[in-house]
A and B are shown apart, each in its own frame.
Chain A
Amino acid sequence: MVAQNVGFAVIALVMLVGALRVVTSRNVVHAALWLVVVLSGAAAQYVLLAAEFVAVTQVLVYVGAVMVLILFGTMLTRSRIGTEGGLNNPRWWLGIPVAGLLMAAMSIALVGGIGDEKMPAGAEPVPTAVVSDQIFGPYLLPFWALSFVLLAAVVGAIVLARKD
């Protein structure tokens, strides 16, 4: 497990630096590109956890779709090269307690949910069929609820985009 721990530390460090640069970068596009580093790092961590399907989904959804959309949007509207001032919201400090709260809630949930349980050494990745059996079996209702939320978002987007 030592190799995995070293891998985790290296990736986590890269993600940490990336996350800091996202909020300190003085160029919107640079910030977005640093976010790509952070999100790809998350995908790499999933691979270390032998969760291949989740890792690939992370790349497909976040790196391939969400980040492209963000970059597309920023480049279409304010594509300036070089440093920019006034990118910070005057109430940026509000983010610190919110982030702290979020971290506390997630730590409680994770520690409460997993506890001392450890991943077995040399764990094989879970076959995708097992993942889908879980999604379409015990977790069918949350899955449906999520698809309904997405459908509502799509309809909302169309309503917003329509001129007439």
Chain B
Amino acid sequence: MSALAIEIPYWGQSLLRVLGGLVAVLLPAGTIVYVFLFKMMSFMQSRLGPMEAGPYGSLQLVAEVGKWLQKEDIVPTNADRRIFRMAPIVVLVSTFLLVAVVPFGPDAWFTDFETGIFYALAVSSVSVLGILMAGWASANKYSLLGGLRAAGQLIAYELPMVLAVVGVVIQAGTMNLQQIVVAQNSGSIFGFDGLGNPYVLTQFVGFLVFMVAMQAELSQAPFDMPIAESELVSGYMTEYSGFRFLIFFIGEFATAGVFAMIASTLFLGGWGLPFAWFGWDSVDSVANWMNVAGPVIVVTKMMAVTFLVMWVRFSSPRLREDQLQRFAWKVLIPLSLANIMVTAVFKVVA
């Protein structure tokens, strides 16, 4: 915050951070829903998608939110009322906790957390609790099955995700996301520093594993068995309506956005441009305008990563439950373990 050259009191900074967090979670969620779920899916299916509300249907989302907000908030008679009501909030809170460690510029960060990426992986698993709570409290066998499936899936795919990140951490030598960004942009590949060293090039296997695991963590097709509509109605979300459904819905796409931001921070160089272009050599010498350009760069990269996720989502059929588990344990985990070994060898030798 020193870049602004004005002293903001601690409570003011905290308030700004909370507001910034709200923007960083909700704005990408809305953009993803409009650009990908409404427009891109329609394009791939040779239709126009929403066109009436606002120019090119850009205000459709406002109409949808309004519709959900004025719907009745129904709780099933046999449900466990308190837990039923708490569950969506737990899911959304985990998303907000997640965004806290994503850096957006040399001085534009919410917290400069030493164990950043480790923290992100830890709090992302909190959403499983919310999903289990929702599935159980609904007093509905489809909900319960959906919740259990979600939990099994998220646990199975958390492992390859953590292991894929370990490769990046070994190469960068730090778990702090800010320093991972700096390491990528000030690095070089075989002495060539025109691109920096985005880990998508040198950690390509890790990136692949991370993207697949991310797809599963977000329960996007082909990994959407928890809400498989042909078997489970709508999984753990079956009994939810009105604004609680809205919270689940926002949570799904907000988490997609935040995970995409984390993926672009880990593998695509985050907010940075290759430092060699401007002759910067450390994070302190980075020009102040990067605090403005950084968020734009992060959001651009986030949209690119989300595009990949949504592309796979719209064009692949659902896997079976046993295929899903087998793929995680027999393909992804051995692959990421091998990746760690190779990375460690290169780190020691090179």
Q: Which residues of A contact B (CB under 8 A)?
A: 27, 29-30, 33, 36, 52-53, 56-57, 59-60, 63-65, 67-69, 71-72, 75-76, 79, 81-82, 125, 127-129
Apart from A33-B129, A60-B118, A81-B79, 20 more pairs, CB < 8 Å: A29-B80, A30-B83, A52-B114, A52-B119, A57-B122, A59-B122, A59-B123, A60-B121, A60-B122, A60-B125, A63-B129, A64-B128, A65-B155, A68-B155, A71-B136, A72-B132, A72-B148, A75-B144, A127-B114, A129-B174
| Residue B46 lies at the interface, judged by CB distance under 8 Å to chain A | no
Complex Cα–Cα for A77 and B158 (A): 24
Q: What 0/1 readout, one digit per residue, does chain B (108-125) give for beta carbons within 8 Å of chain A? A: 000001110011011101
Contact B129 A67 (CB under 8 A): yes
Instruction: Give bound CA distance, A33 to B133, whole Å.
Output: 9
Most chain A CB atoms below 10 A, which of B118, B122, B133: B122
Query: Is there contact, CB below 8 Å, between A125 and B155?
Result: no
Chain B residues near A82: list those with CB within 8 A: 80
B residues 119-154 near A (Cβ < 8 Å) are 119, 121-123, 125-126, 128-129, 132-133, 135-137, 139, 144, 147-148, 151-152
CB-based nearest B residue for A59: B122
| Complexed CA–CA distance, A2 and B154 (Å) | 40
B175 within 8 A of A: yes
Given known pairs A59-B122, A127-B114, the reply for A36 and B152 (CB within 8 Å) is no
Known: A56-B118, A56-B119, A79-B144. Is A63-B132 also a contact (CB below 8 A)?
no
Whether a CB of chain A sits under 8 angstroms from the CB of B70 is: no
B125 to chain A, nearest CB (A): 3
A29: chain B residues within 8 A (beta carbon): 80, 83, 136
Write out, one digit per residue, whether chain B residues 69-89 have a CB within 8 A of any chain A CB (1) or not (0): 000000000111001000000
Instruction: List 25 A–B pairs whose Cβ atoms lie within 8 Å, in order of A's numbering.
Output: A27-B80, A29-B136, A33-B83, A33-B133, A52-B119, A53-B115, A57-B122, A59-B126, A60-B118, A64-B126, A64-B158, A65-B125, A68-B125, A68-B129, A69-B155, A71-B132, A71-B136, A72-B132, A72-B151, A81-B79, A81-B80, A125-B114, A128-B114, A128-B174, A128-B175
Minimal beta-carbon separation of A14 from chain B (angstroms): 16
Main secondary structure of the interface of A (DSSP, over half): helix
- Say yes or no: A52 contacts B151, CB within 8 Å: no
Residues of A within 8 A of B148 (CB): 72, 75-76
CA gap between A57 and B115 in the complex, in Å? 10
Whole-angstrom distance between the Cβ of B58 and the nearest chain A Cβ: 38
Contact surface of B with A, Cβ cutoff 8 Å: 78-80, 83, 113-115, 118-119, 121-123, 125-126, 128-129, 132-133, 135-137, 139, 144, 147-148, 151-152, 155, 158, 174-175
Contact with A56, one of B83, B122, B136, B147 (Cβ below 8 angstroms): B122
Cβ–Cβ contact B115 & A75, under 8 A: no
Q: How far is the CA of A36 from the CA of B126 in the complex (A)?
A: 10
Q: How far is the CB of B251 from chain A (nearest CB, A)?
A: 17
Give A138 to B61 CA distance when docked, in angstroms.
57
Q: Indicate which residue in A59, A64, A75, A127 contacts B147 across the interface (CB closer than 8 Å).
A: A75
CA–CA, A30 to B152, complex, Å? 21
Contact between A79 and B115 (Cβ–Cβ < 8 Å)?
no
CB closest residue in chain B, given A67: B129
CA distance A124 to B15 in the complex (A): 23
With A59-B126, A63-B129, A128-B175 already in contact, the answer to whether A75 and B135 are too (CB < 8 A) is: yes
Q: Hey, which chain A residues are within 8 Å of B151, CB to CB?
A: 68, 71-72
CA distance A63 to B174 in the complex (A): 24
Q: Is the CB of A79 within 8 A of B175?
A: no
Known: A52-B114, A52-B115, A72-B151. A64 touches B136 (CB 8 A): no
Kindly state the separation between the CA atoms of A151 and B108 in the bound complex, as whole angstroms: 43
The answer to whether B114 and A81 have CB atoms under 8 Å apart is no
B179 to chain A, nearest CB (A): 11
Cα A71 to Cα B126 in complex, Å, equals: 13
A52 and B113 in contact (CB under 8 A), knowing A81-B78, A128-B175? yes
Query: A79 CA to B303 CA in the complex, in Å?
Result: 41
Residues in chain B near residue A27, CB distance under 8 A? 80
* Alpha-carbon gap, A125 to B122, bound state (A): 18
B contact residues around A56 at 8 Å (CB): 115, 118-119, 122
Q: Please name all residues of chain B whose beta carbon is closer than 8 Å to the beta carbon of A76 when the two chains form the complex.
A: 148
On chain B, the residues within 8 Å of A33 by CB distance are 83, 129, 133
Q: Which residues of B contact A79 (CB under 8 A)?
A: 136, 144
Q: Give Cα A160 to B191, complex, Å.
A: 53
Question: Measured between C-beta atoms, what is the minimum distance from A30 to chain B in Å?
Answer: 8
Bound-state CA distance A81–B136 (Å) is 8
- In the assembly, what is the distance between CA of A79 and CA of B123, in Å? 26
